[in-house]
A and B are shown apart, each in its own frame.
Chain A
Amino acid sequence: MRRQVGALLLLASSVSGAELAGRVLEQHSGAPLDRAHVRLLQPPGATEVETDAAGRFRFAANPEGPFRIGVSREGYADGLLTGSPGAVADAVIRLAKTGVITGRVTNPQGSPIADARVIPLLNHRPLVAHESGVDDRGIYRLYGLPPGEYSVAALCPEIEPQLAGRAFLITSGDEYRDVDFTLSPGQFQRVSGRVQYPDAASPLLLKLASVEFPSFAVADALADKDGSFVFEKVPPGAYHLLALGPSQGNGGYGGFLGSNPVYGRARVDVHPGQDVKELDLATYPGATVSFVLGGPCGKGATLELTSEEDWGSKTRRRLEVSVSTPGKLIDLAPARYHVTLTGLGSSCFYAGDPILDFTAGAPESFKLRTQPGASLHGQLTGPGQNQVGVILIQPEGDRAAFEAAMPDTSGSFALEALRPGKYRILTVPAAAWSKGPWTPAASRMTEVELLPGRLTNLELPVAHLP
């Protein structure tokens, strides 16, 4: 998956034949950023340099073909820059500072809730890697948030998840304080039933995961010897009832499953004032699925399946997959798994569904389709072409991610190895880039669809720029 990018870039001048060098600056202040890691991604290699106190970097060798530079620094969104050989004398790369959201989670009496978690959501998807616990004072701190529009949810066992009543737009280093939550245990209902479980001597773990936040379990329980189970304090809401066993205990980080595990799942709706009784949950052995790499590119890759729900165990599964030999994953839960394929190479992408839904059964084999990247070559035309500093390309539906390309002196530019799909393109005047915070105007963007393995040629007319 391409890393999230929120960099602003300025091409100060272009000198043919110069070595590849430049500066990294903070986007909103223009202050130089030292110790930023600048990596030459294309052509591939391990060439990485660090910026000095003035934010300067310099690569010893000038790449002969098209190049792509990635920039990263703690506390800033990553930056990506694409350019042509010999075109750059002093590339100024501006990195957007990541944002912060802080506050407290307390009960109505003002006491901190030690078990609470706070999760940021970007485009309605929880960013679990950025979640925060609360400390002994109830304080949480979400940091390192790339540019984007966030909502925030506070979660606590036995309490209905709570969303903050507003959205938080982060462009460059925005910090939102006192985003407080008061979590109040409301009405509880009892959820009980019996699970059909062949090995009554070993404990079976049950969880109630929120449908809205499936990575969060509001309640845990162990089935008794006869398979009966009770969740005592369940707030009204929609849940996935998840069962797995034999459980060999729980160390606070998830359960330890014994051999030959079984799983069960059902949807449970809990209404105010109504206990849920006599649930009957069947369990089944885990699925075995053979995975093979398909499609025109990549000989091997690493597959990672991450279950959307909190099963408490085996939530993340890894497998090396290849084109020639199927690889098997055993004991897969009836879960919705997010698919990540890494190691395909920089110009190859996973083309299948990003989620494998095994909730109603899993196939015996699954082909992980891949597709080659797309290329975009363009030519700026019109009276304003010499004033364009950078062309920004933004995947559709992602307000925060950008990749930047620099036109050469004749106004042509090239972007290679892009994930196929719809994009929006914007030409940005050099002068506009140098004036600090900047937000792209969607109305001025050109839309284009890039097809896998195909080169798209584009002519971008540019009027006189202000």
Chain B
Amino acid sequence: MRPNHKALLGLVACLMAFGQKQDGSIEGKLLDAQTGRPLPNVELLILISGVGKPLKTAADGSYSVTDLAAGAYFLTMSYTSGYSTNGRRLNLLGGQHLTGIDVKAVKAAVLAGRLLDPDKRPVAGASVQARVPAYLNGRLSSSVMSTKTNDLGEYRIAYLSPGAYYVMVEQPKLAIRKSTTTDGDAKEREPVLAAARTWYPNSPTWQGALAVNLVPGEQHEGLDITLIREPTVCVRSRLVETVSDGRAQILAQVVEDVPGGMSTTAEGRFTREESVEVCGIPPGAYRFRAVRREENGDERYASEAFVVSKRPVRVADLVLKPLPEMRGRLVIEGGGDPPTLPKPVSVSVHQTDLMTIVRPGAYARLTQPGPFVLPAVFPEELCLDVYPPPGVYVKSATVKGIDVLRATFHASDGELEIVLGADGPSISGVVVDKDNQPVPGALILLGADPLPSPLAPHDLLHQIPDQDGRFKFTGMPPGKYRLLAFADYELDSMRSPEFFRAHSFDGESLTLAAKEVRSVTCVAK
């Protein structure tokens, strides 16, 4: 389920600045992007240091917010407002009164229908997901809105931004149980036809799925989906726990790789060593995982990959072990002597299917160069995220010479070496239209030229200019870039390498030297 943005924004661990004069204000109108008409009685959100404060538009679509300190603000909308917007970025000076800050929004869409089993009977409690391919830190992920079917098999996913969606439906999770069969049991040998995960209209995989295009305000009802039947088999394994004090439960899961992450196909909880099995697993590539989490947060973990085709599978024993540590070294180049960091750098590694979850054992906040340790990382395929402070860029990140900004790795591959550059360039400027007027709310893309594949996070950066059309990029290495500006755009395009490549011939080519401070004026398309 998509997170509750109001709660997320309202309660993010963020503290307001104190002691500043709060005498600024912002006002404007909320307008329908298609008709230009004002939108009355709709909730806007103004993000103040990341905390969302709701504003309701008046009968004429106008809004105003007062008592603001100088600083950066972002105007957006909660998704339950029923509208979608790219938002406005604003820089407010002390005592400034910004007027005419209009926000354009499009009406959100709805996708609804029924889920039926192969015998055309309603399926209750199933998960229905509307997925949009999206990029996060240069890696392909997906944005997901989901819901559960009710007792009539009905589903309804509202508040969707207009665009193309792939719809996937899954049966409720299968149960992993204590095994009652043996390896040679006859009942396991033949595949059993059973309802399985289905991509609309009727494919077991994403490759066979068709996108559903939603236009602003569309109520796309009647999108009924019938679960397909696939031959399914039983999968067995054994949980082996050497520290068997029985105090913490072992969570066992069968997870499948789907575009943009893993999907949990089956789950069960156990208190001790067990032979376990789950039946009804359709063909695909999976992992059988087991994790045991102590009250103090320590984790013991096991994971085995397996593939299902037409035969039952006996997965190797899942032997739970403490999570391994990963050692690393941070180097700073191009800075002072001795090299220092203006602010700490955050380093985290995570499983490829859990891109947004930062675990304490796999996270470090480094204040100076030198060796560091991530004390407990999962022994699986990992991604790296490095968040350097302003003015510093990630020059390289390698494990045994492999570029792990663009490739996955394992904790056992070797030591992580992260080199930061303190001699990065910056580029700032104004985006204008053909009449040389500033274009606030445009999209500015700065991409390496040529754009590498796969991407590192700093290869493709985006900015939304402020109310005066001003923007600034930092945090990229010296090199050759292309700068693009768009007056109108869809949200998904800001991180998409395909979008950038499709338009890169329109952009301005520039080479940024170390420590260069460049100022430009660019014309929005």
Contacts and interface: CB of A to CB of B under 8 A. Distances in A.
A143 B150 contact: yes
Interface footprint category on A: 35 or more
Nearest to A250: B11
A265 interface: no
Interface in A122-155: 135-136, 141, 143-144
Interface centre among B124, B151, B177 (most CB of A within 10 A): B151
A100 B151 contact: yes
B502 interface: no
B159 A225 contact: no
B246 A320 contact: yes
Given A75-B124, A100-B151, A144-B151, A320 B271 contact: yes
B8 A252 contact: yes
Given A143-B150, A300-B271, A135 B13 contact: no
A135 B158 contact: yes
B180 A249 contact: no
A251 B16 CA distance: 19
B247 A320 contact: yes
B80 interface: yes
Interface string A234-252: 0000000000000111111
Contacts of A318: 249
Given A75-B124, A136-B158, A328 B295 contact: yes
Given A100-B151, A144-B151, A251 B249 contact: no
Nearest to A201: B15
B424 to A, nearest CB: 29
A24 to B, nearest CB: 16
A252 B13 CA distance: 13
A203 interface: yes
A135 B16 contact: no
B30 to A, nearest CB: 16
A60 interface: no
B169 interface: no
A251 B12 CA distance: 8
A114 B81 CA distance: 8
A203 B249 contact: no
Contacts of A135: 156, 158
Interface in B273-308: 295-297
A143 B80 contact: no
A143 B110 contact: no
Contact of A250 (B8, B15, B16): B8
B248 interface: yes
Given A74-B125, A136-B156, A300-B246, 13 more contacts: A114-B80, A115-B80, A136-B80, A143-B124, A220-B11, A224-B15, A248-B13, A251-B7, A252-B3, A259-B297, A320-B271, A329-B295, A330-B296
17 contacts: A74-B151, A114-B80, A135-B158, A205-B11, A249-B11, A249-B12, A250-B8, A253-B3, A255-B11, A300-B246, A300-B271, A319-B295, A320-B247, A325-B247, A327-B247, A328-B295, A329-B295
In the complex, the 10 A-B pairs of residues with the closest C-beta atoms, listed nearest first? A252-B4, A136-B158, A250-B11, A114-B80, A252-B3, A143-B151, A252-B7, A249-B13, A46-B180, A320-B246
Interface of A: 46, 74-75, 100, 111, 114-115, 135-136, 141, 143-144, 202-203, 205, 220, 222, 224-225, 247-253, 255, 259, 300, 302, 318-320, 322, 325, 327-330, 343
